[in-house]
Amino acid sequence: DGTLVNSYDVINPTLSLEYAWGGEKGDTYAVTLVSDYVYNPDPKDTGFLLGAKAGYRKVGERFGDWQVGYSWRYLEDDAFLAAFPDSDSYSGNTNAKGHELTFQMGLAKNVTLGVDYYYMEPISGSTRRTENLLQTDLVFKF
């Protein structure tokens, strides 16, 4: 009938810390740390993400700009409504934990090449298998 089994009145604080330096404005390079936590009190499920990225603060200004990143995530089955998690991470499903590695490189002004690798596995009781996903993106900005 379209009624959800659990309530999704989640608590979801996010924290991001960035240090930038270099260039005329002091913001050419950056190191960023990020954390994201979610708690759904109805089934008492949780999830979190811890990550970091480093390199050029903004990729795509010129050839050779680059940025690398890593994150580790853990998302229990009903911590968040399954329609909203990252659709590339474990095909967008919950009840998963794993790693994401990213690399971006500027090929020209407003042209970037990105590579993402996900290694995800079920947390518990799932018939789904471990999932490896490698994807590339070639982005042109107008």
Give the CA distances from residue 35 to residues 48, 58, 106, in Å, rounded to whole numbers and listed in that order. Answer: 7, 20, 26
Residues of the chain with pLDDT under 50: none
Do residues 68 and 102 lie in contact, with contact meaning Cβ atoms separated by under 8 Å?
A: yes
Q: Output the pLDDT for position 126.
A: 67
Cβ neighbours of residue 111 closer than 8 Å, sequence gap 6 or more: 60, 138, 139, 140, 141
**Nearest-angstrom CA–CA distance, 65 and 58:** 8
User: What pLDDT is recorded for position 49?
Assistant: 96
The alpha carbon of 85 is separated from its chain's Cα centroid by a whole number of angstroms, namely 9
In this prediction, residue 43 carries a pLDDT of 86
List, for residues 120-139, the tens digit of each pLDDT value.
Answer: 999 987 677 899 999 999 99
Q: What is the pLDDT of residue 79?
A: 84
CA gap 41, 26 in Å, rounded? 43
Q: Which strands sit side by side in the sheet containing 96-108, from one edge to the other? A: 14-21, 29-40, 45-56, 66-75, 96-108, 111-122, 131-140
pLDDT confidence of residue 124: 86
The whole model's pTM is what?
Answer: 0.86
